[in-house]
A and B are shown apart, each in its own frame.
Chain A
């Protein structure tokens, strides 16, 4: 029993922290936020050399074949640094392929993602339909040996800089569609978090073959769980950064002749932020561990993490804003950039309430999980 990162995981953590801190100064993040696609080609190249897009991809397809704990380690640092542009999107596409694609598909599509030679992204949610993670209504039409896809996908991350999309369809099926395929239109949809661009992807009778279809009922669940965990870890990193800013400011800023951090109204708020940040961290890493080691509790652990971290990420960034007072409300201070990423992460792949209902289904109704989930931690078994 050991709830600590291994030496290798700690090295990944330290390397990522240092790498991102050196490259992502405030000005750079703001420039990318103001750009059309938030893509920094140089940064992408370097991240690809580090094989980050291939973090969880099998070695035979050029990845590092690391686990979900490493995914959480990296995502926490990406959130801490507020890394702009396409890294999460391409990693999630890779995870989807790794989870359910055929060997031929992996050879063709996953290998270039792993090396960073190409980028992919998920196109799951349909305009006008529900936004739950498994709420996909696009129904492909059978046409000869292949399919015809029509519909409009929203919340597609980094679509303009992706080479292909993993398009979601009913029955938990997925279709790989290239961005420049006939009938595909990509339109930017400005969102609250300008550091990570989103797009609407229209599919007007896009013809695809059987060779790009994968998935099927329940097939994508493990990939979804890893998306919940990735976002939970990113939210943890965001909360950590917002907490550090608040504490630094509370030590420096003086009113009535003393640092505001000496007032309990402020210091207790900071203590609460620490509690929520550490709790989000516990939940995220526990879920990451369970995803790779305890498949029967992984769905519960992943929803617990996303439910908690979604609330913690938004609450902690808001509390930090309050500690900063007026300056926290200005465009000039960087805090709002992190706060906006937290808002976006919190509602992506199910908000806290949706995940709590899922937890309720598992622990109250006993659906899809061991009867005594409290036994999840090994000591209790």
Chain B
């Protein structure tokens, strides 16, 4: 066991840190559209320095970075408070899927514009009646000359309003067993028959959209993997999602933790500070411990994957654990603020920070990217080997 960085990992960290110090683009603008273009420019800059496709193989414009190096990169990004890139889903899911399952022609066509942020990607998996039970999705793709005609509805589609390409899973064989009749497509969002409607969430923002498709044409060359083999490709996408987002999530949690401690240390209460309250101290300490354990467990998982190529049992636990700690932290933050938690973020008497927003946003943590309830099923069935209910 050695938790120190190797000389090459240290050199890598110094390189990232130095680059970020020189190239940090500053705060994003307020306006949503301007902010998006800002994040696109930021991604282009990262790409020019070959940071965008960090985990991708070098032959496709990446760096072939190890998992540890990826973890270091995301930690440094968060530490420097660097803004998000525009094409998160393209980088984390789209690219890796094309690299793993795509044809040479697809690699030539799609990878470079993902890295540069020129073409934004979104993910069309969930449907109104297919959430956790994704394989029951109903969007139909019917064979036409040289391609497919797709009709149906997708939901919870992040970035659909900005996207050029949608990773779409549709049913191509309604008679096959549900996991076998699916095909993975890349759908051009800029065509007739594709309608995107923003979905306003409890925070008031619209991160997500609904996509309505009516006889949308997708040519044959946009099928990824085999016709009928869409499930395996979808699973690759989801595994990349979980692994890729864990690093960023972990560092953001650490930062939230420090901010909550600061909040308790500066909020007056009962003639002293909230940080003097033994119950608050106990709960803050517990959350601190859990967030550190989440981080350590992530590193255990990385070591396991690097050695054996497959995640160990601890790998399945991370997302569930993260959602729980993150939610509890924001709940405690509002309790620390007491009645001040009611004031809108940024309003006159607010205690500062965006705790109200964070509280509301974290409600989705135990739902998005696999609900905690489903993750418990996965752990029970695949890690512990307990029998399935179904």
A residues apposed to B, CB below 8 Å: 1-6, 9, 69, 247, 250-251, 258-259, 261-264, 266-268, 270-272, 274-275, 278-279, 282-283, 285-286, 289-290, 293, 304, 307-308, 353, 356-357, 359-360, 363-365, 372-374, 376-381
Contacts and interface: CB of A to CB of B under 8 A. Distances in A.
A298 B297 CA distance: 18
A374 B389 contact: no
B261 interface: yes
Interface residues of B, number: 59
A289 B300 CA distance: 13
Contact of A279 (B1, B297, B304, B389): B297
B265 A364 contact: yes
A279 B325 CA distance: 13
Contacts of B285: 307, 356-357, 359-360, 363-364
Nearest to B253: A374
Nearest to A311: B286
A356 B286 contact: yes
B389 A262 contact: yes
Nearest to A355: B285
Interface in B268-300: 275, 278, 281-282, 284-286, 288-293, 295-297, 299-300
B380 A271 contact: yes
A247 B385 contact: yes
Contact of A376 (B71, B265, B292, B389): B292
The SS class assigned to the A binding surface is helix
A359 B288 contact: yes
B1 A289 contact: yes
Contacts of A377: 3, 295-296, 299
A286 B264 CA distance: 27
B289 A262 contact: no
Q: Which 7 A-B pairs rank lowest in CB-CB distance, beginning with the nearest?
A: A267-B380, A261-B386, A356-B285, A360-B281, A271-B379, A359-B285, A282-B296
Interface string B349-390: 000000000000000000000000100110111011111110
A274 B317 contact: yes
13 contacts: A1-B68, A247-B384, A251-B385, A264-B373, A267-B381, A270-B386, A275-B320, A283-B293, A289-B2, A289-B3, A290-B3, A304-B289, A377-B296
Contacts of B258: 372, 374
Nearest to A273: B384
B57 interface: no
A263 B293 CA distance: 29
B72 interface: yes
Interface stretch (B4-12, B47-55, B199-207): B4-12
B269 to A, nearest CB: 14
B313 interface: yes
Contacts of A262: 386-389
- Looking at B275, B377, B380, B389, which has the most chain A CB atoms within 10 Å of its CB? B380
B254 interface: yes
B307 interface: yes
B303 interface: yes
A268 B379 CA distance: 8
B13 interface: yes
Interface in B106-160: none
Given A262-B388, A275-B320, 15 more contacts: A3-B302, A261-B386, A262-B389, A268-B373, A274-B313, A278-B313, A279-B293, A282-B297, A282-B300, A308-B289, A364-B285, A377-B3, A377-B299, A378-B5, A380-B75
Nearest to A261: B386
A164 B33 CA distance: 75
B257 interface: yes
Given A3-B302, A69-B1, A379 B376 contact: no
A220 to B, nearest CB: 23
B380 A363 contact: no
Contacts of B4: 1, 293, 378
B75 A379 contact: yes
Contacts of B288: 304, 359, 363
A360 B284 contact: yes
Contacts of B379: 271, 274-275
Contacts of A267: 376-377, 380-381, 384, 386, 389
B380 A4 contact: no
Contact of A307 (B289, B313, B381, B385): B289
